[in-house]
Amino acid sequence: MHLLQHIPTLHDIQETHSAIAPMVHRTPVLTCSGIDAISGAKLFFKCENFQKVGAFKMRGASSASLRLPESARRNGIATHSSGNHAQAVALSAKLLGVPAYVVMPENAPAIKIAGVRSYGAEIIFCAANITSRENTLEEVVARTGAYFIHPYNDYNIIAGQATAAKELMEDVPDLDAIIAPVGGGGLMSGTALATRYLSPGTKVYGAEPKAVDDAWRSMQSGKIEVNATTATLADGLRTNLGEKTFDIIRNHVDDIFTVSEEAIVSAMRLVWERMKIIIEPSCAVPLAAILTTPAPFAGKRVGIILSGGNVDLGELPF
Amino acid sequence: MHLLQHIPTLHDIQETHSAIAPMVHRTPVLTCSGIDAISGAKLFFKCENFQKVGAFKMRGASSASLRLPESARRNGIATHSSGNHAQAVALSAKLLGVPAYVVMPENAPAIKIAGVRSYGAEIIFCAANITSRENTLEEVVARTGAYFIHPYNDYNIIAGQATAAKELMEDVPDLDAIIAPVGGGGLMSGTALATRYLSPGTKVYGAEPKAVDDAWRSMQSGKIEVNATTATLADGLRTNLGEKTFDIIRNHVDDIFTVSEEAIVSAMRLVWERMKIIIEPSCAVPLAAILTTPAPFAGKRVGIILSGGNVDLGELPF
């Protein structure tokens, strides 16, 4: 294996899948007759909320870490993130026996700081703005020689995220459609590639909050749009697309659906109550899209990537 | 199959298990390395929170309904309950195509009333005391000819509840111990019987809240003790033992552990956060016992029956 400098091929995704197997869980696919009845579709939930660190991010982080040459990996890996990617980088480094450096805003929630620290990463605090974040990361990389693992705009990350959809299609053949949430686009682009390679007849859909509908607008305008606000509960989906992820999404995603905040909360609650599993707000967005716009899914076999389950139980939206 | 008038034998439990298979889920067994590290034991969680109606109660209710002769079943089945047993009776009746009558106190939570109603049962409201409950049930039985299915003190129920432990031992051989919550004792006595038959070397433990420690006191005194209060979050465990369940528990349960309310909330939260699954307070009691009294479990392979996942998300204890 080596660092990918091109859009992952089927072979790259297969190779990645074998390589990361010892570092990730093969997560189960659940079904729920109650939610099928409500949605009018036959839904297959790929439970990345049960993944290590509680989110699909572990697939990408372990892929990128493993594809780094050992000489480059030796000085450690670094990232800036206050979310699931930070924990995924920290755990990947721990499993590979190298240092991890995570730049986090000084106002990051205590529970996320504790999560990253529990995997043994060094945390470097910065001011809560993007300039401070990037400058601090640059300093850390200069000081330590660590390799920066971008959270999404990286073919090695994309190849890792693609393995969730690959497993889903192995477990559930003949899906009419597959749907994933869109934030920076790592999961979405990986899902689209895996589906195009392994099940070309399956429609590929994305879903995002109306409040941060940059991906939907980017599809319309043909260039990367940014969000004027981050005012959504779906904290994992506030990011804009990157060039690499947008290029893949533009070519391989059939449509992107946008949903209200109320629809997100209601879909999240439905999964908690009916399936008895914990999903985070970002993770509820695809189901919210199906319930908001049922027509394209009616009577269809639909795979949903449940992206993660990291929720602050002290701050639930219901 | 016929109605059992004796303590279920291994053959009775096997026969029950085959018979109820189309009416219940074979639930998964999950593990969690994070909670293993905290507890010092190797834990195997039998996920009855994923069972139909969200609790193991569906096993007993389907067993009792199926063992009723068709002539007795034709007029319907009835019970008084505001909890998981009511929904289990309602769904069993629906699946068997017979009427269900559920007596519920007029102050029962709207969500539980809606749950029972969603399975098509007729609800008959009564005043919120035991006399009104029993009188109302008698009237319903006299009026309809329905058969009363007791929630726990019934060998047909016990044979059904025993199938959860049977499945757990089939999936995970060589358990050093198995632990279940104790309320009326249906799950506890079924678990004890299945374990004695299928894995006689495995210790059988119960767990209950200190606030309603009737089972622990009954084991000490040798007779059925009652609770002076129902002041526990674990609403499924407020009941006293029945004669049939106590007889089995006294002979086949090695020990009963009691836990504080704080330990229940903390164990429940741990499962939500680490396993990303929803369990109800009653269901957290066995893990709370292991975390409160770790010595007997240290280094052991321990099966935990996760009894149910029906929680009012609007009233969480954290």
- What is the per-residue pLDDT across B215-230, written as a single tens digit (0 to 9) for each? 999 999 999 999 999 8
How far apart CA B237 and CA B257 sit, in angstroms, is: 13
Query: Cβ distance B308 to B57 under 8 Å?
Result: yes
Closest partner residue to A318 (CB to CB) among B272, B275, B314 is B314
**pLDDT recorded at residue B82:** 76
User: What's B199-255 look like in SS3?
Assistant: CCCCEEEEEEEHHHCHHHHHHHHCCCCCCCCCCCCCHHHCCCCCHHHHHHHHHHCCE
Q: Which residue of A has its CA nearest to B269?
A: A313
Where residue A204 falls among pLDDT bands split at 50, 70, 90? very high
Its pTM stands at 0.95
**pLDDT recorded at residue B120:** 94
How far apart CA A38 and CA A27 sit, in angstroms, is: 25
Residue B70 lies in a domain: yes
Where residue B196 falls among pLDDT bands split at 50, 70, 90? very high
**pLDDT recorded at residue B56:** 98
User: Are both B232 and B290 inside the same structural domain?
Assistant: yes
Residue B199 lies in a domain: yes
**pLDDT recorded at residue A131:** 92
Residues A76-94: pLDDT tens digits?
999 998 789 999 999 999 9
User: Are both A20 and A101 inside the same structural domain?
Assistant: no
Across the interface, do A313 and B318 touch by the CB < 8 Å criterion? Answer: yes
**pLDDT recorded at residue A111:** 77
Q: Looking at CA atoms only, how far is residue B99 from chain A in angstroms?
A: 21
User: Are both B65 and B159 inside the same structural domain?
Assistant: no
Domain extent, residue B103, equals 58-148
Residue B2 lies in a domain: no
**pLDDT recorded at residue A95:** 97
Closest partner residue to B278 (CB to CB) among A28, A277, A314 is A277
Instruction: Choose the final residue of a domain: B86, B121, B148.
Output: B148
Q: Is the pLDDT of residue A252 over 90?
A: yes
List the single best residue of B26, B47, B276 to mutate versus A (max A Cβ within 10 A).
B276
**pLDDT recorded at residue B188:** 98
Mean pLDDT taken over chain A:
96
Query: Cβ distance B165 to B14 under 8 Å?
Result: no
Residues B37-68: pLDDT tens digits?
999 999 999 999 999 999 999 999 999 999 99
The torsion of the CA quartet B117, B122, B127, B131, rounded to 10 degrees, works out to: -130
**pLDDT recorded at residue B115:** 87
User: Are both B181 and B281 inside the same structural domain?
Assistant: yes
- Percent of chain A surpassing pLDDT 90: 92
Strand stretches in B58-159, DSSP E: 77-80, 100-105, 122-126, 147-148
**pLDDT recorded at residue B234:** 95
Residue A2 lies in a domain: no
Q: Which residue of A has its CA nearest to B274?
A: A54
Q: Which residue of B has its CA nearest to A50?
A: B276
**pLDDT recorded at residue A215:** 98
**pLDDT recorded at residue B16:** 98
Q: Looking at CA atoms only, how far is residue A253 from chain B in angstroms?
A: 30
Closest partner residue to B269 (CB to CB) among A54, A275, A313 is A313
Residue B16 lies in a domain: yes
User: Are both A209 and A185 inside the same structural domain?
Assistant: yes
Q: Looking at CA atoms only, how far is residue A206 from chain B in angstroms?
A: 24
Instruction: Choose the final residue of a domain: A148, A183, A208.
Output: A148
Residues B3-28: pLDDT tens digits?
999 999 999 999 999 999 999 999 99
Q: Which residue of B has its CA nearest to A318?
A: B314
Spatial CA neighbour of A18 closest among A60, A63, A80: A63
**pLDDT recorded at residue B104:** 93
**pLDDT recorded at residue A314:** 86
Residues B128-175: pLDDT tens digits?
888 999 999 999 999 999 999 999 999 999 999 999 999 999 999 999
For residues A133-144, average pLDDT: 96
Q: Are strands A301-306 and A177-181 parallel, antiparallel or unpaired?
A: parallel
**pLDDT recorded at residue B267:** 98
**pLDDT recorded at residue B161:** 98
User: Are both B276 and B308 inside the same structural domain?
Assistant: yes
**pLDDT recorded at residue A9:** 98
Is A28 part of the contact surface with chain B (CB cutoff 8 Å)?
A: yes
Where residue A31 falls among pLDDT bands split at 50, 70, 90? very high
Is B309 part of the contact surface with chain A (CB cutoff 8 Å)?
A: yes
User: Are both A301 and A187 inside the same structural domain?
Assistant: yes
**pLDDT recorded at residue B202:** 98
The number of distinct structural domains making up chain A is 2
Q: Is the pLDDT of residue B201 over 90?
A: yes
Nearest 5 degrees, angle CA B311-CA B315-CA B318? 95
For residues B88-108, average pLDDT: 95
User: Are both A44 and A92 inside the same structural domain?
Assistant: no
User: Are both B193 and B76 inside the same structural domain?
Assistant: no
User: Are both A62 and A36 inside the same structural domain?
Assistant: no
For residues B183-211, average pLDDT: 98
User: Are both B138 and B187 inside the same structural domain?
Assistant: no
Residue A1 lies in a domain: no
Instruction: Choose the final residue of a domain: A131, A148, A165.
Output: A148
**What is the full DSSP assignment across B145-196?**
-PEE--SSSSHHHHHHHHHHHHHHHHHS---SEEEEE-SSSHHHHHHHHHHH
Q: Is the pLDDT of residue B111 over 90?
A: no
Q: What is the CATH number of the domain that holds B281?
A: 3.40.50.1100
Residues B287-315: pLDDT tens digits?
999 999 999 999 999 999 999 999 989 88
Across the interface, do B313 and A273 touch by the CB < 8 Å criterion? Answer: yes
For residues B258-271, average pLDDT: 98
Residue A255 lies in a domain: yes
Closest partner residue to B272 (CB to CB) among A28, A273, A278 is A278
For residues A100-111, average pLDDT: 89
Where residue B112 falls among pLDDT bands split at 50, 70, 90? confident
CB contacts under 8 A, B 228-287 vs A, are 269, 272-273, 275-279
Strand stretches in A49-135, DSSP E: 77-80, 100-105, 122-126
**pLDDT recorded at residue A270:** 97
Q: Is the pLDDT of residue B108 over 90?
A: no
User: Are both A171 and A275 inside the same structural domain?
Assistant: yes
Q: Looking at CA atoms only, how far is residue A314 from chain B in angstroms?
A: 6
Residues B247-259: pLDDT tens digits?
999 999 999 999 9
Residue B122 lies in a domain: yes
Is B49 part of the contact surface with chain A (CB cutoff 8 Å)?
A: yes
Residues A279-312: pLDDT tens digits?
999 999 999 999 999 999 999 999 999 999 999 8
